[in-house]
Structure 1
Amino acid sequence: MHATPESPAIVSPGALKTSFSIEPMSPVIGAEIGNIDLTQPLDDDQYAALRAALLKHKLLVFRDQDISAAQQVALAQRFGELEVHPVFPHHPDHPELVMLGGDSKIPGRENIYHSDVSWRALPSMGSMLRCIECPKVGGDTIWVNMAEAFARLPEATRNALEGLIAVHDLLPAFGTRMTPEERESRRAAFPPVMHPVVRTHPETGERVLYVNEAFTTHLANFIEKNEVRFGFDFRLAEMDLLQHLYRQAAVPEYQVRLKWRPNTIAFWDNRSTQHYAIQDYFPARRRMLRATIIGDAPV
C-alpha cells in the first residue's frame, strides 16, 4: 500500500500481532510510526516490517514511548550488536548508551552535519536516540537523505567521484574534549580510516555520498584521479571539492526536521543519512540517550 501524508499506510506483513501506521514526514526522508508499543519486545514480523520501513524512509520516529534504559538497549540490540563509544559519557548501568546534551554552563556540540562514528573501520549501521528532556522551544534535529544528495549531483560530478577515497578521523571533532595523554591513547586505538567517497548501501544498493564535515578530513587519492599543474592546485582543488560535497547535506530539499518531545525516539540509518542537532536553546537543557548499532565496512 502506498503511504501519503494524508492517508498513512498500515503495514501488516505476515501475521503481525500489532499493525503499525507509517506517516511520511517529508517527500524524501523520514516517517512517523504509530500504533506500536516499544515497551514490548518486537516479534519477528514487527522487526522485519520496521527494518523494511527504515530502509525505505531512512529515519523512523516514535512518539510517546516511555521506555527504560534497559528497554532501549534491548530494542536497539534487536537490530544488531551495539558499540561502546570511546569519548561520550555513558549511562551508569548501560555502557552501550551514551548521554548527549550540555547543561546550563556547557552547550552541546553536535551542531554539525555528520554521520555517527564514520571514523570507525566499521561505521554504524544505525542509531537510536531517545529524548529524556528537551526545551519547549528549540533543540530540533535535522536529518538528510545522502542517497538523494548523490543522485541529484550533476552527472559529471558523480562520475568524477567514482574511485575517490576519503579519510575519516576521530580527533578533529573530539580532540578538544581530551587531555594530551587521552589524545595520544585515542590516536593509537582509533587511527584515521579510509572509506569510499561514494558508498553502496549494503541492503538497498543505493549509491550514497559518504563524506561529512565533522569527521572527513581529506581525500587520500585526489591527485591520482585528477590532473594538476602545481602542488597548490592539488590542495586547493581538493579542498574546493570537499567543501562542495560537505554543502550537499545543507540542501533543504534533502532534509526533514524533527521537533522533539520527551519520550520521542528517532531511529535512523547512518549508512545513508547525515544529521545536525540544532543548538538554539542554550542555556536550556536537552538530554538524550543514544544507542549505536555496529555496521560494516563501506564499499
Structure 2
Amino acid sequence: MQATGQIIAEAPSTVRSAVLKPSFSVEPLSPAIGVEIGNLDLTAPLDDDQYAALRAALLKHKLLVFRDQDISPAQQVALARRFGELETHPVFPHHPEHPELVMLGGDSKIPGRENIYHSDVSWRERPSMGSMLRCLECPKVGGDTVWVNMAEAYARLPEATRNALDGLLAVHDLLPAFGTRMSAEEREARRVAYPPATHPVVRTHPETGERVLYVNEAFTTHLANYIEKNDVRFGFDFRLAEMDLLQHLYRQAAVPEYQVRLKWRPNTIAFWDNRSTQHYAIQDYFPARRRMLRATIIGDKPV
C-alpha cells in the first residue's frame, strides 16, 4: 500500500526542489494536513526556486496557508497562474476585472451554502488541480474552513473495503448542488455544456502516486458500475447496498483525525491540492459577512 505523503512520480520542478533549502518557514497546522508558510512576500513574483519549493510543499502537506498577504486581484491571478492554467466557473459570480476569480460569500440576507464536504468542480471531466482562496472580509468569530486529507482517509479504510472499491466508478454532477440557483432554461443549458462526469472512486494522484478516495457528498450522485462489480439478489438489494456504500464513503471526510480547521483573518490565503483533499466552509456566522476571492487551477482527468 502506498504510504501517505510519499512522492513517487514527481514533476521535474519538484525533484529539483528536493535539493533546495526553502527560503520560507513551514509550520505544521495538524498531524494530518496543512502547514502555515511564513517569511514569504506574495506581492512579489515567485522565482523558480520558490515555486519549486512551494509545489513540493503542496504535494507533501496538501494545504498551504499564508497570512498577512495584502495582494491585489491581479496579483492573485498571476500567483495562481504560476501553477497552471486557470478556469472560469460557470455558476459563481466573477470579479468584474478578472473572470478567473470567483467571488464567494453571502450577505445579511443570503447565507453561504458551501457547508458540505466537497472537492471543487469534481463534475468536470478535468477537475481542478488546486485553488487559491483569499479572505477579504470575515467575522472575528466563526466562518472557519475545514480541509480533509482524502489520501489518509483511503489509506486507513479497512483492507476489505479498499479491495471492494477497486474498479468502481462514480458519477459527479453539477446540477444537484447548483441547479437550485438556476432557471429551468439555465439548467437545460448547463446540462448540455456540463454533462455528468464519471471518475474512479479511488483516483491515483498524478504527481505523488497516492491513492485518494474521490467521492464527495456535494457532487457524487451514484456509482456507475456497482451492479457489475457486486452480486445482488434483487433490484432493491443493489440500490440499497450502493447507497449504503456511498454514505459510508461520504462520511470518511468527517473524521476529525484526517482534518485541519483554519481560522480566517483578512489577507489570509489558503492554497490546497484539490486532487487529494475535500473541504467544508462552516456556516456559523450568518448574518455577518465573509467575502472571498478564489482562483482555481485546471487539473487532469482522474485515473
The 8 Å contact of residues 119 and 193 in structure 1, kept in 2 or not, is answered as: yes
* SS of structure 2 residue aligned to 1:53: helix
* SS of structure 1 residue aligned to 2:133: strand
The 8 Å contact of residues 169 and 224 in structure 2, kept in 1 or not, is answered as: yes
Which 5+ residue runs of structure 1 have no aligned equivalent? 1-11
1:149 aligns with 2:129: no
CA displacement at 1:165 relative to structure 2: 0.1
The 8 Å contact of residues 20 and 53 in structure 2, kept in 1 or not, is answered as: no
The 8 Å contact of residues 150 and 209 in structure 1, kept in 2 or not, is answered as: yes
Equivalent residue for 1:214?
A: 218
1:120-269 pair list within 5 angstroms: 120-269=124-273
Q: What TM-score does the superposition give when structure 2 sets the normalisation length?
A: 0.94
Match of 1:24 among 2, 15, 28: 28
1:58 aligns with 2:62: yes
CA displacement at 1:15 relative to structure 2: 7.0
The 8 Å contact of residues 203 and 302 in structure 2, kept in 1 or not, is answered as: yes
RMSD, matched Cα:
1.0
Match of 2:99 among 95, 98, 102: 95
Counterparts in 2 of 1:66 and 1:190: CA distance versus 1, 3 Å: same
Counterparts in 2 of 1:238 and 1:45: CA distance versus 1, 3 Å: same
Counterparts in 2 of 1:171 and 1:156: CA distance versus 1, 3 Å: same
Equivalent residue for 1:84?
A: 88
State the Cα deviation string for residues 32-72 of structure 1 (Å, max 9, x = none). 00000000000000000000000000000000000000000
CA displacement at 1:233 relative to structure 2: 0.2
* SS of structure 2 residue aligned to 1:187: helix
Equivalent residue for 2:8?
A: none
* SS of structure 1 residue aligned to 2:99: coil
Which 5+ residue runs of structure 2 have no aligned equivalent? 1-16
* SS of structure 2 residue aligned to 1:128: strand
Equivalent residue for 2:280?
A: 276
State the Cα deviation string for residues 103-144 of structure 1 (Å, max 9, x = none). 000000000000000000000000000000000000000000
The runs of at least 4 consecutive aligned structure 1 residues that moved more than 6 Å come to 12-16
Measure the CA separation in 2 of the matches of 1:281 and 1:28. 26
Q: What TM-score does the superposition give when structure 1 sets the normalisation length?
A: 0.95
1:68-83 pair list within 5 angstroms: 68-83=72-87
* Count of aligned residue pairs for this structure pair: 287
The 8 Å contact of residues 131 and 271 in structure 2, kept in 1 or not, is answered as: yes
* SS of structure 1 residue aligned to 2:118: coil
